[in-house]
Amino acid sequence: MTIQVPEAARNTVLEFASGMTRADRHRMAVEDVRGGLRLWRLAWSLGWLDIKLRYRGSMLGPFWLTISTGVMVGSLGFLYSALFHMSLKEYLPFLALSQVLWGFLATLVSESCVAFTESEPVIRSVRMPFFLFAIRILVRNVFVLGHNIFVIVVVFVALRQWPGAHMLLALPALPIWIINALALSLLLGGLCARFRDIMPIVNSVMQIAFFLTPVIWKPQQLAGGEVWLPLNPFFDVLEIVRAPLLGQVPSLYVWVGALGYSFLLCALAWAFFIRARGRIAFWI
């Protein structure tokens, strides 16, 4: 199969931007994104290849992760429903959704840190848009998320609980998650290529955020303190998907927080990408 590499891709890698104006850097960054979008089939194939190589020789492949997630949800569901004095029928769907969505988010953040460094041989040997590698990170994590959704379906079927028409309210949140994922890959991928100490810092922050975000505990347990939760960006982004799937409507504050934090993330990622894109090949 012959892959046609667009003109933008041939001018993307291995130019040092120190002598260029900001307008030139902005134009070339836009061309990089366009070139990456044109190569979405290649990004899809690379993401699927990553999954195949990761579980090569395994009989169940990525379903091992699904099984472990299911066992964790079941175990924690029985334990924490008793500790929190909540009905299992009420708590287990919340926990299943939270664990699967947080697992996707945490893995995406962690792998965004190596978006460019893990592709060093390709970047050094073939001229391709850097945006292609951001799409690759997103694609392979979406594949894993697709397997783990099976855990949510099993819990809903077993407890005979369905979100109903409210689940349609989660659809507007999906583009936000996709855009944020691509922005994270560009930002963290470039930063971690330049400063290798950032990745362990990011992983530590995600561990702290796990306990500060309603994942294994419900917002209502704060007894009035839940009004401050929209200040947590992880809660806002998580809630705009989780609440509709639980048959609830996200509050206006949650949506404003999610959109505000997403805009800030995209602005930071774009500003950094414009400035650093021409140096990434020299950093890895």
Asked whether residue 4 is domain-assigned, the answer is: no
Is 9 inside any structural domain? no
Judging by beta carbons within 10 Å of its beta carbon (0-12, 13-18, 19+), is residue 193 exposed, middle or buried? buried
Please say if the pLDDT value at position 4 is more than 60: no
Are 170 and 258 spatial neighbours (Cβ–Cβ below 8 Å)? no
Q: What is the pLDDT of residue 97?
A: 92
Largest CA distance in the chain: 64
What is the structure's pLDDT at 12? Answer: 45
Q: Looking at this protein, which amino acid is placed at residue 13?
A: V
Residue 13 lies in a domain: no
- Name the residue among 188, 204, 186, 179 with its Cα closest to residue 261: 179
What is the model's pTM? Answer: 0.85
pLDDT over 80 at 227, yes or no? no
Reported as a pLDDT band with limits 50, 70 and 90, residue 11 is: very low
Nearest to 62 by CA among 135, 145, 136: 145
- pLDDT-wise least confident of 49-63, 138-152, 157-171, 179-193: 49-63
Taking 50 as the threshold, does the pLDDT of residue 34 lie above it? yes
User: In this prediction, what percent of the chain has a pLDDT beyond 90?
Assistant: 38
Its domain, for residue 139, covers 20-283
- Tell me if 1 is assigned to some domain: no
Give domain status of residue 112, yes or no.
yes
Per-residue pLDDT, 85: 81
Mean of per-residue pLDDT scores for the chain: 85
Residue 42 within any structural domain of the chain: yes
- pLDDT category at 59 given cuts 50, 70, 90 is low
> Tell me, what's the pLDDT at 5?
46
Whether residue 114 lies inside any domain: the answer is yes
- What the block records as the tokens of 260 is 């505000």
pLDDT in tens, 64-113: 778 888 888 888 888 888 888 888 888 888 999 999 999 999 999 999 99
Number of domains in the chain: 1
| 67 in a structural domain | yes
